[in-house]
Amino acid sequence: TFIMNKISVVIIAKNAEESISECLKSLNRFDEVILYLNNTTDKTSEIASTFSNVKIINGDFLGFGPTKNKASDFARNPWILSLDSDEMILDPLYKEINELSLDNDHAVYSLKRDNYFLGEQVRHSGWGNDRLIRLYHKGTHRFNANMVHEYIELNSLSEITKLKNPFKHLAITDINQFLTKVSHYSDIASNNQKTCSFTIVIAKSLFAFFRTFILQLGFLDGWRGFVIAVSNFNGKFFRYTKRYINCKKQ
pLDDT band at 154 (very low <50, low <70, confident <90, very high): very high
pLDDT of 92-118, one tens digit each? Answer: 999 999 999 999 999 999 999 999 999
pTM of the model: 0.91
Neighbours of 2 (CB within 10 A): 15
162 residue type, one letter: K
User: Has residue 250 got a pLDDT over 80?
Assistant: no
Residue 4 identity: M
Count of alpha carbons within 13 Å of 149, Cβ hemisphere only? 6
Query: Which residues does 179 contact at the CB level (< 8 Å), separation at least 6?
Result: none
What 3-state DSSP class applies to 138?
A: coil
Contact predicate 87/32, CB 8 Å: no
Q: Residue 1: what pLDDT?
A: 57
Output the pLDDT for position 118.
97
pLDDT for residue 236: 96
- Percent share of the chain, pLDDT over 90: 94
By the 8 A CB rule, do 141 and 153 touch?
Answer: yes
**H/E element, 57:** strand 54-58
Assess whether pLDDT exceeds 90 at residue 5: no
Contact 152, 136 (CB under 8 A): yes
**In angstroms, rounded to a whole number, what is the distance separating the alpha carbons of residues 110 and 130?**
10
pLDDT of residue 189: 87
CA distance 163 to 109: 7
CA distances in angstroms from 19 to 170, 173, 248, listed in the order given: 8, 9, 40
pLDDT at 2: 62
What is the pLDDT of the chain when averaged over all its residues?
Answer: 96
